Amino acid sequence: MTSLVRPTHGRMIGGVCAALARRFGTSATTMRVIFLLSCLLPGPQFLLYLALWILLPSEDKTRTAW
């Protein structure tokens, strides 16, 4: 199982969609499209993105921690 970290390469803004795509085995573009389409629905999607951006560690920080 892949750990959920924001990658250092392939990011657009914060790397949240790229991290989720890597975790669920899909492309980052697909995950970004899903996120953008979900923003058309009512709900806290943008706040969830910001929370994940803050809470998910960056890949380069997890490498240096070990």
Q: What percent of the chain has pLDDT over 90?
A: 64
pTM of the complete model: 0.79
**pLDDT tens readout for residues 7-37:** 888 788 889 999 999 999 999 999 999 999 9
Contact residues for 8 (Cβ-Cβ < 8 A; gap 6+):
15, 58, 59, 60
pLDDT mean over 37-43: 93
Q: What is the pLDDT of residue 29?
A: 94
Is the Cβ–Cβ distance between 16 and 50 less than 8 Å? Answer: no
